[in-house]
A = this chain, B = another copy of it.
């Protein structure tokens, strides 16, 4: 006898990237920041007394919301902290999408979106991207026709790294009747010269949520900390009804605050990643492995299947203790998604690829 709901029994779970715990592996497969978080985070940890863990955390992560409000020039009521960005995605589905109603995503993008839709027993509307990873011109109309209650679009796009300009999202928000969640997990790595700041969308639209993460930008993937930015009317039902009351633990609140209060340090890591992104992409292109322009902390590399297929490169790199991400799907099976590491890690990658080609 099974006790499990039929939609859960029928679905496959999310396949996470390999997470080896050894120090030897050069890990370029799950888009972590190659640099640790600010020294201020280590200092906050050092000063932390476990006596303060005896009590429940501040339920609304007030201090963090206030700091984020200053950082983004909005109000604390525009923010909701979550146990990693994944929790924010799940909460958006729980709050806005009835079972049987439509949830939309672009394909390919973050494969967790469709897993969460299946857990919620939502109907999945999949939007095929153009060959250059741009969104189809009729996406807003598609979403309206599908009566999409929630649409998740990642920008910069994963796994391509492509940045879409903001007016496109404003247009989609107008053209359809659901909530549009723009997943900005990688937005910290966008070149500042692009002057890309999506918070303007939140001021102008009552149906746009932005998702940010501490995992990549702040080197804190292990801490699980993310946040939603949105009109207070969108944030409120999640804050007061659908999330677990103490979803963000006290230590994460303290360390997250220390991390965002050192913007100078964080920006220095983003700049270093950008420099290496340009260098690695150029070197790999010279090796016959071009990638589309990336504004993220990874590049999507096109293999030459007649020479050396992507899967073989993945296996060969893994044998050399270098992990990159290979997706065995029709759109991505001839490509590799490679996280930008430190200069040394990237050099090791380049050397290994030269040997393999």
Contact = CB atoms under 8 A, between A and B. Distances in A.
Contact of A50 (B41, B87, B249): B41
Nearest to A115: B241
A21 B58 contact: yes
Interface in A35-55: 35-37, 41-42, 45-46, 48-55
Given A16-B59, A56-B222, A244-B86, A119 B96 contact: no
B241 A13 contact: yes
B52 A222 contact: yes
Given A32-B56, A58-B21, A4 B222 contact: no
Interface string A84-120: 1011001000111111000000000000100100010
A130 to B, nearest CB: 28
A240 interface: yes
Chain A interface, DSSP helix/strand/loop, else mixed: loop
A244 B87 contact: yes
Contacts of A30: 55-56
A202 interface: no
Contacts of A9: 237
Given A83-B244, A179-B3, A245-B86, A19 B58 contact: yes
B240 A55 contact: no
A315 to B, nearest CB: 22
A4 B149 CA distance: 9
Contact of A36 (B51, B121, B149, B215): B51
Contacts of A252: 249, 251
A154 interface: no
Nearest to A219: B54
A71 interface: no
B251 A54 contact: no
A4, A98, A178 interface centre (most CB from chain B within 10 Å) = A4
**Residue with the highest number of chain B CB atoms closer than 10 Å, among A59, A83, A99:** A83
